[in-house]
Amino acid sequence: MKYQQWNIATRPEEPYKAMRERGVPVLVASTLCARGVESVEEANELLSSSEKQLQDPLLMKDMDVAVSRIREALAHGEKIAVYGDYDVDGITATCLLAHYLRSQGGNVIYYIPNRLDEGYGVNRGAVDHLAEQGVDLVITVDCGITAVQEVEYAREKGIDFIITDHHECKEEIPRALAVVDPHRKDCPYPFKDLAGVGVALKLVMALGGRENYRTLFQEYADLAAVGTVADVMQLLGENRTIVRVGLSHLKKTRRRGLYSLMMEAGTLNRSINSTTVGYCLSPRINAAGRMGQAAMAVDLLLTDDHARADMLAHELCELNRERQAVELDIFTQCTQRLAGKKQVDCLVLEDRDWHQGVVGIVASRLSEQFACPVFMICLQEDGKGKGSCRSYGGFNLFCALERCADLLEGYGGHALAAGFTIREENIPAFRQRMETIVKEDTGGEKMVSTLNIDGEIEDIAVLTVEQVEALSMLEPYGAGNPKPIFSLSGVTVTCMSDVGGGRHLKMRASRDGRTADMIFFSVTRAKSGLAVGDKADVAFYPQINEYRGSRTVQLHLVDLRPAYTPGQLEDFALYERFRSKGTITAEEAEKMIPSRDEFAGLWRYLAGRNGEVVDTPTRLARRVAQEADLWESSLRTLICLDVMEELDLLKVTEEEGGALRVKLQKRRGKGNVNLFDAPLIQRLQKIAQ
């Protein structure tokens, strides 16, 4: 329904049996083996989150130079500015470094550019402002790796720069006193996937000295965990340790701002995991930067005042609600503009009235809906546009933007999310070139939305509370270590209802005499395309549902689809081949031609229901056949619909969930029509002959 393709992993049986013999729980062993892990030892190494995973910060290129200059600034009372980014990673990194430097007696201010007025990264106006403030040293966090000209300008102003970043490097890096970025080609640091806040944490540990590594790591792991999860970094290696330790500290955080935010967001009485951070805390912190008020989030995370923390947390949640409303408005505009578009290589959209801080989220939603990379540009009064883009299907945005550098004023970011600036007159050329790049990188094949599944559950009986709880061994979940998703094939829907004000679907399904409770958020009965009695395949992650002291397993659905028989799948493949002008045999054409009785049965079925129905092809075929006492054929039912639509007898539109809305059309004064004169039938008959 949501995904065009399910990739269901097949676990190798020998490693699975070996793990089970070593006492590894069923679902855990199945997941690990499906992901290519072949032994308990390899699993331990992959999932290790002990502090032994942490690398020495001084292995980073220029870290020693940065430490020396910052210690000098602290010793001489120089004014230091921490220059951060306006997303969660940048905000947490700013708070982490500023808090530590102030604890060491530093004269420290922070600066985060206004997303709406200044855009991303270091800019000359900010350098001028910091010079006026008497700043001697600027330390960037989560930004700065592309600020070549701005650092030169700061040198002219007498300001020293230290860059700490984690973004991809271009050929030329800034001539700062130190450039600390694990992505530097000459940086020997073994773990390359730290977030910006992770690099800031390493800087603080290096400043504190080896004897204080563990103490400082424990003190700041909570901030580092929030930024790492929010920036969707690979939760392997050091990041697993950072997030695991940080999440454990969040449960009992001493940071008044974080406590107030969790209280306002309603997460204090729930388990704190990466999902809590990613879906509850991060959006609220991010809202400040997106709406041009990043300082509010920084002040919240740095304050020790209880009343102020509560006030700022409340304001931040209100700001997030405002962000959600703006996001929905822009998304609605885009979907209306794109109505009818189904096959696209990429989307490049621009508008003068869009909110620059929100378009990145909208781009993410559009990339999922249209299964392609999306570039959204907010046009400015100066004839330039500020763009945000999101990837799809592993398409590398940073490399693609590099190939469009001559059309851009500037760009930066990651493979999966990036930003750029472009002159308005260059947008058509940019759109054309990006479409070409996407076609070249994909070999001309359409990207499809794909769901990776960790395996098919053969027996529902394995989904016990104990087995589902055991999956926590794999946490923390995130990029590189996603939450395990399983599938069940051919379950029979026994009960379904809309809940949550009609926004969500709750259902029960059975197979082999056992039942399972399921919930599908943001999907309704109508959108599901299913009805009680239908067979379905479901993809889900299992969770524990607690209600009035009772703990049961509930399947949180990620996707579902009608369960087709092999014969039905062959019929649908034949139908798609015919519709796309592919080659079909005479025997196949003969099989596809409906009889007069089938045309008449469909017409009577529709007329008996006020001329309109919404149903899936298989269910429609079954119901028409039952009512008209005909042979059931989804294939010929689809051909009937195409022929009758071709002759303006009815209108067919596709609904969410794969259902079809079929509506009879009035044909006043047009006389009778011979269905077998339709071009589609003539084509089939010609092939059959």
Confidence of residue 629 (pLDDT cuts 50, 70, 90): confident
**Of the given ranges (35-49, 185-199, 374-388), which has the lowest mean pLDDT?**
35-49
The count of C-alpha atoms lying within 13 angstroms of the C-alpha of 554, restricted to the half-sphere facing its C-beta, is 15
How far is Cα 80 from Cα 70, in angstroms, rounded to an integer? Answer: 9
Residues 39 and 71 in one domain: no
Residues 345 and 431 in one domain: yes
CATH number at residue 514: 2.40.50.460
Residues 115 and 95 in one domain: yes
Q: Given 151, 182, 217, which residue is the final one in a domain?
A: 217
pLDDT surpassing 90 at residue 463: yes
Match 């596709």 to its residue by tokens: 654
Residue 285: what pLDDT?
94
DSSP string of 402-434, one letter each residue: HTTGGGEEEEEE-SSEEEEEEEGGGHHHHHHHH
Residues 585 and 672 in one domain: yes
Digit-coded pLDDT (tens) for 116-170 = 788 788 999 999 999 999 999 999 999 999 999 999 999 999 999 999 999 988 8
Confidence of residue 63 (pLDDT cuts 50, 70, 90): very high
**Of the given ranges (40-54, 143-157, 432-446, 582-596), which has the lowest mean pLDDT?**
40-54
pLDDT surpassing 90 at residue 480: no
For 474-536, the three-class secondary structure string (H helix, E strand, C coil) is: HCCCEECECCCCEEEEEEEEEEEEEECCCCEEEEEEEECCEEEEEEECCCCHHHHCCCCCCEE
pLDDT surpassing 70 at residue 193: yes
Residue 329: what pLDDT?
94
Residue 157: what pLDDT?
94
Match 């690990």 to its residue by tokens: 32
Residue 580: what pLDDT?
79
Work out the angle at residue 579's Cα, subtended by the Cα atoms of residues 578 and 580, and round it to the nearest 5 degrees.
90
Digit-coded pLDDT (tens) for 287-341 = 998 888 999 999 999 999 999 999 999 999 999 999 999 999 999 999 999 887 7
Q: Give the phi and the psi of residue 630 in degrees, each rounded to 5.
A: -120, 170
DSSP assignment, residue 341? -
Whose CA is closest to 201, among 122, 95, 74?
Answer: 95
Query: Which has more pLDDT, 2 or 180?
Result: 180
**C-alpha pair distances (Å), 330 with each of 323, 343, 525:** 11, 21, 27
Query: Which has more pLDDT, 617 or 538?
Result: 538
Tell me what the pLDDT averaged over the chain comes to. 90
Neighbours of 394 (CB within 10 A): 11
Q: What is the mean pLDDT of residues 407-411?
A: 91
The verdict on residue 365 lying in a domain is: yes
Residue 66: what pLDDT?
97
The verdict on residue 259 lying in a domain is: no
Structure tokens at 494: 């026994």
How far is Cα 37 from Cα 454, in angstroms, rounded to an integer? Answer: 12
Residues 531 and 425 in one domain: no
Residue type, 601: G
Structure tokens at 589: 């054409």
Whose CA is closest to 6, among 483, 559, 572?
Answer: 559
**Of the given ranges (177-181, 322-326, 533-537, 665-669), which has the lowest mean pLDDT?**
665-669
Handedness of CA 438, 443, 444, 448 (dihedral sign): negative
Question: Which strands make up the sheet holding 79-83, listed edge to edge?
Answer: 107-111, 79-83, 137-140, 160-164, 178-180
Residue 202: what pLDDT?
98
Rounded to 5, what percent of the chain is helix, strand, coil? 45, 20, 35
Confidence of residue 587 (pLDDT cuts 50, 70, 90): very high
Digit-coded pLDDT (tens) for 513-569 = 999 999 999 888 878 878 898 889 999 999 998 887 789 999 999 999 888 777 888
Q: Given 169, 191, 217, which residue is the final one in a domain?
A: 217
Residues 87 and 194 in one domain: yes
How far is Cα 507 from Cα 229, in angstroms, rounded to an integer? Answer: 32
Strands (E), 142-223: 160-164, 178-180
Query: Which has more pLDDT, 346 or 45?
Result: 346
Residues 355 and 374 in one domain: yes
pLDDT surpassing 70 at residue 443: yes
Residues 496 and 590 in one domain: no
Residues 574 and 555 in one domain: no
Residue 339: what pLDDT?
82
Q: Given 506, 530, 562, which residue is the final one in a domain?
A: 562
Residues 79 and 210 in one domain: yes
Question: Which strands make up the sheet holding 374-379, listed edge to edge?
Answer: 347-351, 374-379, 384-390, 417-423, 408-413
Q: What is the domain count for the chain?
A: 4
The verdict on residue 57 lying in a domain is: no
- 621: containing domain: 566-688
The verdict on residue 242 lying in a domain is: no
Question: What pairing do the DSSP bridges indicate for beta strands 347-351 and 160-164?
Answer: unpaired
CATH number at residue 609: 1.10.10.10
Determine which helix (DSSP H) or strand (DSSP E) holds 593, and give its type and residue range: none
CA of residue 158 relative to chain centroid, distance: 43
pLDDT surpassing 80 at residue 586: yes
What is the Cα gyration radius of the chain? 29
The verdict on residue 246 lying in a domain is: no
What share of the chain has pLDDT > 90, as a percent? 63
Q: What is the mean pLDDT of residues 604-615?
A: 88
pLDDT surpassing 70 at residue 495: yes
Residue 150: what pLDDT?
96
Match 């402002």 to its residue by tokens: 129
Handedness of CA 226, 231, 232, 235 (dihedral sign): negative
The verdict on residue 181 lying in a domain is: yes
The verdict on residue 301 lying in a domain is: no
Determine which helix (DSSP H) or strand (DSSP E) holds 656, and give its type and residue range: none
Residue 417: what pLDDT?
87
The verdict on residue 296 lying in a domain is: no
DSSP assignment, residue 456? B
How far is Cα 189 from Cα 59, in angstroms, rounded to an integer? Answer: 5
Residues 345 and 459 in one domain: no
Question: Is the pTM above the cut of 0.85?
Answer: no
Confidence of residue 416 (pLDDT cuts 50, 70, 90): confident
Q: Which range in 356-360, 398-402, 627-631 is most confidently predicted, on average pLDDT?
A: 398-402
Q: Give the phi and the psi of residue 405 in degrees, each rounded to 5.
A: -55, -35
Q: What is the mean pLDDT of residues 254-278?
A: 89
Residues 610 and 664 in one domain: yes
For 253-316, the three-class secondary structure string (H helix, E strand, C coil) is: CCCHHHHHHHHHHCCCCCCCCHHHHHHHHHHHHHHHHHCCCHHHHHHHHHCCCHHHHHHHHHHH
Digit-coded pLDDT (tens) for 338-370 = 887 766 889 999 999 998 888 988 999 899 888
